[in-house]
């Protein structure tokens, strides 16, 4: 098997490289949720409606999701160093545009530019980690990546909520900017070229199809919560996305050098662990979306209290991720996935009996324990799936994994919010509304149970087998 790295691992300062990638990815992912609690202040400044204001966050996630599928092509075309430096520079430009935006359209331009760069960061980091660490330490490396995935989006709303109480929302970007510049400077001196370039042929129709396919799907599902399933915006977006995505997949299977290699799904372990990872991410997003709605609109909690409820669990997951990674390196994925999904399923049941009297302590503790289960599934499922692929397919594997998680988050949120709404159909009484929340968590329990059953079919791969495959 052809080595997919440059063969210069020993000449790369791995500690500096890991720090640079973690910092860059942290800043990129942090910006996904940074403006959630600052949105009311932005709406006030620019005189926006609620449906318009929420786009400061939605557009970031949408563009981020569109960019991820083409990252494999970018990683195979440009040097690792150039791709990271360019991405970080573009991210800085977007941050500056947001900082000095004089109107809402200009702010949106800045968010789009930020998101386009951020979409490259996570798959790039995961690919590099898979290549610079030996197989027996990949679990720990990906656990470090999991720390970023868990902590950054959770601290975003809390950090923003605290800062906007004392300063203008623009200071959020003013704080991010120097951190990005420092990371860029360090990257200039320490970033090496890790990923072997294969210079795939540019297939422009595939890029266009990818944008409309994944973009349509993500846009459609992200609007279900606002408009419902039968609104023209949702129907047209999902229809366009489904048709173009189907054409995109068929085209990739015919190309000798596809933009995104769907043949990774021929690998049973990769397919199984990717589905399990999607379910875990769906469960994470579902709780982080539905519980604050229940707390603030139905149970009388404040926005601060809903943030307090989420933060300990996010910290637990961040703390657990490197530990779980070390355990993965010792025992593999199977036991972790079965145990983790068992915890997720069991704790989700506790959210099926919520009421107006449910305490903040109860919600915080159950959510925190649930996050232990998610930590045991998220990165181990990813690492096990990528370990099953030959090195030449790892960039495509990381791009596919991150793409599928974005789709899972959109579909999961749309489905469970819809179930919640239907469960309370025809009544505005708090008890009826909470019943809708409980029903949505019954559905979430069923989905996590499916993940638990799938985990039973994950084979306990031997380290030597993985080494031979790579």
**Average pLDDT of 126-155?**
84
- Same domain for 116 and 183, yes or no, is yes
pLDDT at 11: 65
- Same domain for 51 and 155, yes or no, is yes
pLDDT at 166: 78
Tokens of residue 451, six digits: 């993940």
- Same domain for 428 and 464, yes or no, is yes
Domain span at 136: 8-190
- Rounded percentage of the chain residues whose pLDDT exceeds 90: 49
- Same domain for 32 and 117, yes or no, is yes
pLDDT at 189: 92
pLDDT at 93: 97
Question: Which pLDDT band, with edges at 50, 70 and 90, does 425 fall under?
Answer: low
Q: H helices of 198-333, where?
A: 204-222, 224-227, 232-254, 268-297, 303-331
Per mean pLDDT, which range of 308-312, 342-346, 347-351, 423-427 is the poorest?
423-427
Predicted confidence (pLDDT) at residue 20 exceeds the cutoff of 80: yes
**Average pLDDT of 382-410?**
90
Instruction: Evaluate whether residue 462 is within a structural domain.
Output: yes
The whole model's pTM is what?
0.84
Q: Of residues 318 and 249, which shows the higher confidence score?
A: 249
Predicted confidence (pLDDT) at residue 9 exceeds the cutoff of 50: no
pLDDT at 293: 81
Domain stops at, among 190, 215, 233: 190
Instruction: Evaluate whether residue 451 is within a structural domain.
Output: yes
Domain stops at, among 190, 222, 241: 190
Yes or no: say if 435 and 308 are a contact pair by the CB < 8 Å rule: no
- Same domain for 91 and 229, yes or no, is no
240-273 per-residue burial string, b: 16 or more CB within 10 A, e: under 16: bbeebbeebbebbeeeeebbbbeebeebebbebb
pLDDT at 464: 45
Instruction: Evaluate whether residue 196 is within a structural domain.
Output: no
Domain stops at, among 133, 164, 190: 190
Per mean pLDDT, which range of 39-43, 190-194, 301-305, 396-400 is the poorest?
301-305
Yes or no: say if 56 and 383 are a contact pair by the CB < 8 Å rule: no
Instruction: Evaluate whether residue 195 is within a structural domain.
Output: no
Helix (H, G, I), strand (E, B) or coil at 12: coil
- Same domain for 210 and 290, yes or no, is no
pLDDT at 292: 82
Tokens of residue 346, six digits: 């069991």
pLDDT at 424: 66
- Quote the DSSP letter at residue 38: T
Q: In the chain, what's the furthest Cα-to-Cα distance?
A: 66
pLDDT at 377: 94
pLDDT at 114: 95
Instruction: Evaluate whether residue 312 is within a structural domain.
Output: yes
Instruction: Evaluate whether residue 199 is within a structural domain.
Output: no
- Rounded percentage of the chain residues whose pLDDT exceeds 70: 92
- Same domain for 246 and 367, yes or no, is no
* Total domains present in the chain: 3
- Same domain for 226 and 356, yes or no, is no
pLDDT in tens, 366-378: 999 999 999 999 9
Instruction: Evaluate whether residue 1 is within a structural domain.
Output: no
pLDDT at 6: 45
The set of residues, in sequence order, having a beta carbon less than 8 Å from that of 138 and lying 6+ positions away, is 129, 130, 329, 383, 386, 387
Instruction: Evaluate whether residue 184 is within a structural domain.
Output: yes
pLDDT at 40: 76
Question: Which pLDDT band, with edges at 50, 70 and 90, does 10 fall under?
Answer: very low
Tokens of residue 257, six digits: 């050098």
- Same domain for 271 and 251, yes or no, is no
- Same domain for 249 and 272, yes or no, is no
- Average confidence score pLDDT of the chain: 86
- Same domain for 249 and 275, yes or no, is no
- Same domain for 250 and 272, yes or no, is no
Domain of residue 104, CATH code: 1.20.1250.20
């Amino acid at each position: 098997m052809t080595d997919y790295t440059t063969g210069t691992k020993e000449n790369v300062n791995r500690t500096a490289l890991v720090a640079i990638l973690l910092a860059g990815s942290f800043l990129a992912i942090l910006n996904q949720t940074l403006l959630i609690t600052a949105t009311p202040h932005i709406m006030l400044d620019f005189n926006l409606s609620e449906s318009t204001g929420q786009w400061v966050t939605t557009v970031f996630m949408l563009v981020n999701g569109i960019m991820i599928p083409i990252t494999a092509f970018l990683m195979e075309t440009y040097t690792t160093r150039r791709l990271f430096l360019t991405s970080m520079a573009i991210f800085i430009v977007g941050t500056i545009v947001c900082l000095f935006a004089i109107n809402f359209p200009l702010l949106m331009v800045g968010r789009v530019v930020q998101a386009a760069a951020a979409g490259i960061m996570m798959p790039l980091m995961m690919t590099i980690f898979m290549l610079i660490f030996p197989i027996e330490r990949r679990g720990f490396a990906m656990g470090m990546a999991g720390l970023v995935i868990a902590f950054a989006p959770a601290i975003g709303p809390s950090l923003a909520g605290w800062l906007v109480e004392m300063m203008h929302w623009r200071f959020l970007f003013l704080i991010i900017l120097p951190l990005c510049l420092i990371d860029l400077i360090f990257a200039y001196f320490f970033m090496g070229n890790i990923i072997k370039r294969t210079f795939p042929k540019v297939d422009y129709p595939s890029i266009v199809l990818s944008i409309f396919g994944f973009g349509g799907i993500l846009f459609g599902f992200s609007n279900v919560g606002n408009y419902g399933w039968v609104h023209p915006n949702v129907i047209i977006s999902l229809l366009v996305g489904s048709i173009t995505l189907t054409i995109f997949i068929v085209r990739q299977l015919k190309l000798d050098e596809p933009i995104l290699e769907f043949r990774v799904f021929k690998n049973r372990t990769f397919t199984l662990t990717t589905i399990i990872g999607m379910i875990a991410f769906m469960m994470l997003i579902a709780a982080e979306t539905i519980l604050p709605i229940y707390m603030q609109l139905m149970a009388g909690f404040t926005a601060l209290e809903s943030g307090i409820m989420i933060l300990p669990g996010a910290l637990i997951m961040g703390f657990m991720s490197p530990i779980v990674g070390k355990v993965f390196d010792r025992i593999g994925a199977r036991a972790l996935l079965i145990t983790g999904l068992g915890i997720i399923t069991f704790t989700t049941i506790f959210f099926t009996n919520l009421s107006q009297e449910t305490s903040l302590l109860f919600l915080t503790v159950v959510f925190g324990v649930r996050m232990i289960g998610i930590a045991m599934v998220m990165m181990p499922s990813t690492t096990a799936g990528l370990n099953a692929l030959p090195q030449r397919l790892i960039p495509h594997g990381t791009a596919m994994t991150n793409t599928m998680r974005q789709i899972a988050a959109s579909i999961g949120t749309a489905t469970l919010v819809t179930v919640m709404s239907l469960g309370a159909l025809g009544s505005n009484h708090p008890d009826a509304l909470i019943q809708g929340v409980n029903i949505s968590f019954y559905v979430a329990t069923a989905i996590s149970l499916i993940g638990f059953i799938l985990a039973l079919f994950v084979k306990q791969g031997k380290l030597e087998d993985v080494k031979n495959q790579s």
